[in-house]
Amino acid sequence: MIYRLKSIENQTPVSRLLEQLDASQYSTISRGKPAVNGEQYFATFAEAESGEIAYFYAPDVSKWEEVAARLSKSPASLLILNSELSLFVRPQMNQCLLFCAQPKQLFADLVKQSVEQIEPTALSTFPNPGSVSPHAVIEAGASIGRNVTIESNCVIHGNVTIGDHVVIKAGAVIGGPGFEFYKDDQGALCHFPHSGRVVIEDNVYIGSGVVIDTAVFKQTIIRRGTKIDNLASIAHNVEIGENCLIMAHASIAGSVKIGPRTRVCLAASVRDGVTVGSDVVIGMSACVTKNIPDNVTAFGVPAVATQRSTKASNREHQTPSENTARTVRLIKEVVHNLRLDLTGFEVLTEAATGHFAVTAAIAALAGARVQAIATDSPYGSADDAALATLAMAKAVGVESRIRIVSREQADLSQTDILTNLGFVRPIDAQIVSRLKPGSVIPVMYDARELRPGEIDLDCCREREIHVVGTNEEHPMADILSYCEPLAVRLMMEQNLEIRGSHIVVAGENFFTPPILRALEQLGAEVTLLTNWNQLDRTLLESLDLLLYIDYWNQLGDTGGKLNADQLSVASGATVLQFIGGLDLTPFRDAGWRLAPSTPVAPHRMWRTLAYLGPRPVIELHAAGLKAAELEFRGEEYATGSWFDGLRQPIIAFRPTELTARP
């Protein structure tokens, strides 16, 4: 038995629909001319779009301001709410609010009146050749791709679409209704009708006894290349990304979103509504109760994200032990080429893992005495950071000049150079007050990229602490040129050929020129987007990938400028966050592929230049230390030399320079 929504004429006024469904006796408030569309007119609150009906129940109206703020963001044309909210909320334009005692029950009643039950017959022949057991049940309405294997005792309901080269082992049930109930007037539990679909993309493997429930209204999706082990349970409205591994007895509850390349281990469970990032490992028997970011391992009950994944997709944070000899050679070359001389200086920096373990060794090789702060982080424990940093120092031959300390143990009173790196941040007033006047803080990147809250600049001025940036376009650094291969690599990892592809680059700043140059040289058709209004239907119909690099958010928020209906023209295209800060909601709702699948923080890169290897990190951090050295050496040393312009004064105390705030 499957359910399908009865068709209604397009743009039916909400008032007429309520009359047809006998709901007109309830209290309503309308604004504008709300209407529902004729294809999909029911949705969950989180998924609701313009032209759809949803419900929301707020048991605690004492927090009405939070509730009102949340409701104000819903584009649903009809929202069914509990009566207590009628005093606090008002509809948006072209929206109707309906108030009643039991919103979910009324919502379910409306759905039941609007669906029709279908008893499909079993298919006996299939249009595409494959291996289908005669003991499998495949209902009429199901769509089966090419070269599909379906073993005995499987049940494929009529609301299922299966792609090419899919293997479904014995006893799997796909497309049945999910576990969703509500109470009627007598308190009896009633099953909620499910009118959605299940979509299984190409090259998916589904083990024996797996159950994949259909969506309540829209789609349960298993993306291409994913493999699901025996007896796993996938509930309604779940979306599992590409090339995931879901192991035996795993339980994925309703409306869970899982990013690509994630592994859910034996008997793990994920709570309903949770979003799990890409390249995540969920440990055996773990119970995930809240959102999990990209590239972490989560285990325990409740699951805790404790360390970054060490898979090849996370190369930027691996310890490069297999290539230590090359890393050592690069460190020595860069220190020599920059003529970096920190003899007699005390440097405080971070101890780190992977390619970021090089900074302390660079400073020590240049002659400095180094304190390196080690602490626990998503990339590993404090012990991991200490061991990686000392191993690199030993390979360079400077381990005797490096001392591992905690943040509390660090001796700031003797520090000459304090790097603005991960474990050292934030450099707040408490830290600055312990520094000696005249010490230097190199931000270790371009001054244009200085992020709010990282350094207390006002306190630095009061204490006469110098703050300097590094010109990443300087010939002796040329760090921005690495953006070219990084962008190309990230796009090719999305299976984009680049040559002949239409790529829209969103945002114009210092990242833009090298990336545009690289894409054009590789034969791509490139459009530079400087306003969301440029993303019209003509442009959407032809694009393959949108590369977001809007560092300063000059394009503004997508809200009110982009919507799922508009973007659905390019459904299946990819949006790649080179820089974070983009609202992914309209792209996700329009069926775009997201890279990564979760938002990246504003002013942050999804993948740092370390994703390419150790050289960009070595060159950037050595250049940052050189900028600090230039600040100490004085104007005469820097001006007219090879290094003129490498140092960017942010706060300086020289008569010929202004104190600046970027």
Catalytic residues, by residue number, are: 236
| 74 three-state secondary structure | coil
Dihedral sign for Cα atoms in the order 124, 128, 134, 138: negative
Burial of 523 (0-12, 13-18, 19+ CB in 10 A): exposed
Contact assessment for residue 31 and residue 93, using Cβ atoms and an 8 Å cutoff: yes
The single-letter DSSP state of residue 118 is: E
Two structure tokens written together for 324: 């230590």
Q: How far apart are CA 498 and CA 72, in angstroms?
A: 40
User: Which residue's entry shows tokens 């039991």?
Assistant: 102
The closest alpha carbon to 86, from 111, 56, 108, belongs to 56
Q: What is the number of residues in the chain?
A: 662
User: Which residue's entry shows tokens 């600049």?
Assistant: 457
Half-sphere exposure of 445 (CA within 13 A, CB side): 18
| 173 three-state secondary structure | strand
The CA–CA distances, whole Å, from 276 to 229, 258, 309, 423, 572 equal 19, 5, 13, 25, 21
Two structure tokens written together for 28: 């309503």
Q: Which residues contact 15 (CB under 8 A, 6 or more apart)?
A: 24, 30, 96
Residue 325 dihedral angles phi and psi, to the nearest 5°: -60, -40
Q: What angle do CA 53, 14, 565 make, to 5 degrees?
A: 55
Quote the distance between the C-alpha of residue 561 and its chain's center: 21
Q: How far apart are CA 263 and CA 294, in angstroms?
A: 12
The closest alpha carbon to 449, from 551, 554, 547, belongs to 551
User: Which residue's entry shows tokens 């592929």?
Assistant: 593
Contact assessment for residue 228 and residue 251, using Cβ atoms and an 8 Å cutoff: no
The closest alpha carbon to 196, from 174, 175, 217, belongs to 217
Half-sphere exposure of 572 (CA within 13 A, CB side): 5
Q: How far apart are CA 197 and CA 175, in angstroms?
A: 7
The single-letter DSSP state of residue 599 is: P
Extended beta strands in 239-360, E state: 239-240, 245-246, 251-252, 257-258, 263-264, 269-270, 275-276, 281-282, 287-288, 296-299, 304-308, 346-350
Contact assessment for residue 198 and residue 161, using Cβ atoms and an 8 Å cutoff: yes
| 184 three-state secondary structure | coil
